[in-house]
Amino acid sequence: MSMNSPGSEDLLHASVRPGDVLAGKYSVDRVIGSGGMGVVVVAVHVDLYERVALKFLLPEAMQSQEVVARFAREARAAFKLKSEHVARVIDVGSLESGVPFMVMEFLEGSDLDGVMESRGALPIPEAVEYILQACEAVAEAHTLGIIHRDLKPANLFLTRRRDGSPCIKVLDFGLSKVGVNVEPRRKGASMTGTRQMLGSPLYMPPEQMLASRDVDVRSDIWSLGAILFELLTNSPPFVGDNLPELQGRVLSGTPQKLRALRPDAPAGLEAVIEKCLQKERANRYANVAELAAALVPYGPMRCRVSAARIAKMIEASGQVVSMRAPPAFPDE
């Protein structure tokens, strides 16, 4: 998480300054990110010398009970999830002023919005692997009854394991029930009027546009399909010059064709994405295990391990998995 922005220091709450020690153990270093609702700073644990990220609400956000509730919900949801593909919440606390904060693992890298901004459309195996890793986090959340509801490239963070291999971390579970804010897309791609939507319209399924509470696991599957489409084409599947136009296309139009924008994409992969983007939820994959099984043929061989883990999680929760990927290892 290194998203320095000009003037972001000015957004930090006056009672938190570089050098301050919070909760007796977190020494504030600098601001690394800011948005409409909060600020993220990097800090160092004074005893363990470990870098962490602290997320605060801005003073104006504290005026909304909805925002404060979302902040607490994000911390609780993320804390429950143990997958390596979720940004871990380590601790929570409050400043003397009453402003809440959460302590998260510090991530180095970039979200997938930034990756696409610098690289454009990604190679097919790479994009598929990123979505399969995100599916691991989403699968665990679903088994705990948590629907993310705001999956988008900006909430999938690409970092690296110690061996250099890529690792996707799913961020921001604050909209897992009710949300109040939408971050704009990357430079040149934001749309007028989207900030009041409960979620991110470019990746939002029809049922969520019609009723923000009317979501289930298949709503997240729509979002994952929309993200994969964009990773492969550098364009979302539904586009519009304004919010009403976009809504109309999501609710009654058809998505762009993957192979029209990415001719080298296999027809089977196009079919997987189209199934994710079905208007009727009953026509989508029933769970992320089935989506993962469908994606495995288009990713690196190691993706079979992810698909196997996802299937075991879903089955352990009592759900039926009707589609299975090939075994992770030949003798399985």
Would you state the pLDDT for residue 186?
44
Would you state the pLDDT for residue 181?
30
Look up residue 186 and give its DSSP letter: S
CA distance 309 to 311: 6
Burial class (CB in 10 A: 0-12, 13-18, 19+), 215: buried
Would you state the pLDDT for residue 24?
85
Per-residue pLDDT of the chain (332 residues; tens, 9 = 90+): 434 443 444 444 445 678 888 888 899 998 887 666 778 889 999 999 999 998 888 777 788 888 888 788 778 877 888 889 998 888 888 877 778 888 989 999 999 999 999 999 999 999 999 999 999 999 999 998 888 888 999 999 999 999 999 999 998 775 543 323 323 344 434 443 333 455 689 999 999 988 877 789 999 999 999 999 999 999 999 998 889 899 999 999 999 999 999 999 999 999 999 999 999 999 999 999 999 999 999 999 999 999 999 999 998 888 878 766 666 544 44
Taking a C-beta distance cutoff of 8 angstroms, is the pair 273, 225 a contact?
yes
Q: How many CA atoms lie within 13 A of 272 on its CB side?
A: 25
Taking a C-beta distance cutoff of 8 angstroms, is the pair 46, 36 a contact?
no
What residue has token string 């296999």? Answer: 266
User: Which among 111, 113, 150, 220 is annotated as catalytic?
Assistant: 150
Q: What number of H helices and E strands is found in the chain? A: 11, 9
The structural domains of the chain, ordered by start, are 8-105 (3.30.200.20), 110-183+190-316 (1.10.510.10)
Secondary structure class of 54 (helix, strand, coil) = strand
Taking a C-beta distance cutoff of 8 angstroms, is the pair 167, 84 a contact?
yes
Would you state the pLDDT for residue 326?
62
Instruction: Give the residue ranges of DSSP H helices in 162-287.
Output: 206-210, 217-233, 243-252, 258-261, 267-276
Would you state the pLDDT for residue 304?
93
Within 10 A of 145 (CB to CB), how many other CB atoms are there? 11
Secondary structure class of 69 (helix, strand, coil) = helix
Taking a C-beta distance cutoff of 8 angstroms, is the pair 132, 295 a contact?
yes
Single out the residue of 61, 185, 178 nearest to residue 113, CA to CA: 185
pTM recorded for the entire structure? 0.84
Active-site annotation holds for 216: no
Q: Which H or E run contains 118?
A: helix 112-119
37-45: long-range pairs with CB below 8 Å, 24+? 37/61, 37/67, 37/180, 37/181, 38/71, 39/8, 39/11, 39/12, 39/13, 40/1, 40/3, 41/12, 41/16, 42/1, 42/106, 43/103
Single out the residue of 74, 71, 95, 105 nearest to residue 1, CA to CA: 105
- Provide the Cα torsion 205, 275, 156, 22; round to 10°: 50
